Chain A
Amino acid sequence: MIEINNLHKSYRMGSNSLHVLKGIDFNVKEGELVAIMGPSGSGKSTLLNILGMLDEADKGDYVLDNVPIKNLNETKAAQYRNKFLGFVFQSFNLINYKTAIENVALPLYYQRKGRKERTEKALNYLGKVGLAEWATHLPSELSGGQKQRVAIARALAADPKVLLADEPTGALDSKTSHEVMDIIQGINDEGKTILVVTHEEDIANMCKRIVRLKDGVIVEDVQVEQVRASQYV
């Protein structure tokens, strides 16, 4: 599903440049649930952003679902993001003046789906994360865990190939973190490929594979025995 070869990325900080990713080789197969771990500054969020086409690599190959991702203009990148990827952010990033269901329906709007279909699908995915009765609430009326569940529903709404989650539990307490991970595991059980960036060991252990980054290179890549989040909920 994801193939990466010799990926490099550096940021220019005034006169000196900061080499963040120093040659990453990394493959993800369909249906995997991968945790990307590492101390801050190790490049894990940068890697995720490049995978999510939110940022561009300086060097290296990236193939997503057999489509080479290279030299994309913004319009093309936007199309690919819409078609292939779903995002879950640490800070939720819901549009604050839209209700839960409108937020979930937004990716479908950019897929040019009809209004009726959008509403139906959005409600369906909201139901999946257990928030059907909160559909008409604004983000400001929801708790942190609920917001993140809305964000997950939104990420799923476009039926993407890969779900990318950047510290999805970073802003949540451990109980809601487990609720969110339970939902993520459930989605993965249905066959969706998911990448989760985290710095929490217990969250990482709820995935099936852990990739550890340090100073821009992969130092460890292991399959782990998945801990089910449901036992904590």
Chain B
Amino acid sequence: MFDRDRWREIFEAISKNKLRTFLSGFTVALGILIFTILFGFGNGLKNTFQEFFVDDATNTIWLFPGRTSKPYKGFAINRVVEFRNDDIEDIKKDFALYVDYITPRISRSGLTKYKGESNTYVTRAVGPAHLLCEKTIIMKGRYVNDNDIKEKSKSVVIGRLVEQDLFGKKENAIGKFIEIDGITYKVIGVFQDDGGDNEERYIYMPYTTRQLVEKNTDKIDQIIVGFKLGIGYSGAKALEISLDKYMRDKHVIHPEDQNGLFIRNVAENVKQTLQFANILQIVVAFVGIGTLLAGIIGISNIMVFVVKERTKELGIRKALGASPKSIVSMILQESVFITTIAGIIGLFIGMTILKFTGTSLKDYFITNPYVEIGTVIGATIVLIFFGALAGYIPARRAARIKPIVALRDE
């Protein structure tokens, strides 16, 4: 395969026929470049979309207790339903196959003080798994952990803006003590959240600590269940129905009581958004295929032209003893070489442009455009293949015509 003399012959043909080389190389490089950029921008559009609509985890089911509106099994109407710690344990145990994580949440508002500064923030008393359902990002320190839950420790994780409000821009909140509604807590972590400013003005604490403060109850405001993504949308629907039934049985709520228990399935909400994202993906793929097709047609035209232009040269070579096989392989090797190099150049430029675009086109809804390296390499290979095919057909014909005919070609 590797024949040094043949390569030398090919390099010579390439370097001495600059227009030809440029034309075929340019077509391929441009094709790949446009493909990369369009595809990347499409992905950037998808990124923006996801950022707008898919801040929180999409695999959660939320359970809220209510007030019964129907008498049931000897219980009177208007009874307040309350979730307790054992609900968490039971769901964890009985739905182990479907449940990825589970956490309670108890929200309270509290006056928070540090030195001279004070402000009112919402505190959320949660379990460690809450980190996952809100996609909270820990900037420093740590989140609430199992030990905090067990020890009912007076630790809090504060939002980035809470730290900024109370501690100013210079002071580090970690390890400091703040006071919430008259009780002192130690700051163990600072978090940020992509959901916006409001999301960064929360204070998280262990739910057991909140229960201890509230006269050592075991009441829970709401339960958040994160289901395993593998069960899919229909699995999530089924889980929602079973959870509903399970909780109604346990808390003795009439199966048709609309107010006794509320369930919100996030998978439901994001279904449409996810569908829209899929359509975006299809549009992006369509644009990519279109660009690639235009590139294929371009390189095919040029290859036909190149072979036509070389008919006489090929006739001379044949008269001097070149076999048809050597003619075909010479043309193919040359075209594959040029298109490969040009494809890599186009790919490289495209990727670089995408990389430097980053978030600068955010106003046009394009965030961090990217392409999977496999996709562009695949596209390049497709172009190289069709360039070679488009060269092969006329090259084979040129190699077959009698040299005397080829020599007559002016």
Contact = CB atoms under 8 A, between A and B. Distances in A.
B324 A109 contact: no
Interface stretch (A60-68, A89-97, A174-182, A207-215): A89-97
Nearest to A73: B324
A79 B318 CA distance: 10
Interface string A128-155: 0000000000000000000000000010
Interface residues of A, number: 29
Interface in A88-113: 89, 93-95, 97-98, 102, 106-107, 109-112
Interface in A102-126: 102, 106-107, 109-112, 115
Contacts of A111: 321
B44 interface: no
Interface string B178-216: 000000000000000000000000000000000000000
Contact of A107 (B8, B320, B403): B320
Interface string B379-408: 000000000000000000001101110010
A112 B318 CA distance: 15
Contacts of A79: 321, 323
A97 B16 contact: yes
Interface in B7-21: 8-9, 12-13, 16-17
Interface string A5-24: 00000000000000000000
Interface stretch (B23-31, B77-85, B309-317, B367-375): B309-317
A197 interface: no
Given A95-B313, A98-B12, A78 B322 contact: yes
A55 interface: yes
B324 A74 contact: yes
B363 interface: no
A87 to B, nearest CB: 5
A114 to B, nearest CB: 8
Nearest to A50: B404
B171 interface: no
Contacts of A56: 402
A93 B316 contact: yes
Nearest to A83: B321
A107 B321 CA distance: 7
B362 interface: no
Nearest to B6: A109
Given A75-B325, A95-B313, A109-B9, A89 B407 contact: yes
Given A54-B402, A94-B316, A110-B321, 17 more contacts: A74-B324, A78-B322, A87-B319, A87-B320, A89-B407, A93-B312, A93-B319, A95-B316, A97-B17, A98-B12, A98-B16, A107-B321, A110-B322, A110-B326, A111-B321, A115-B5, A158-B321
28 contacts: A54-B319, A54-B402, A54-B404, A55-B402, A55-B404, A74-B318, A74-B399, A74-B400, A75-B324, A78-B321, A78-B323, A79-B323, A81-B319, A87-B320, A93-B312, A93-B316, A93-B407, A95-B313, A95-B316, A95-B317, A97-B13, A97-B16, A97-B17, A102-B12, A110-B322, A115-B5, A115-B8, A158-B320
Interface of B: 5, 8-9, 12-13, 16-17, 312-313, 315-326, 399-400, 402-404, 407
Interface of A: 49, 52, 54-56, 74-75, 78-79, 81-83, 87, 89, 93-95, 97-98, 102, 106-107, 109-112, 115, 154, 158
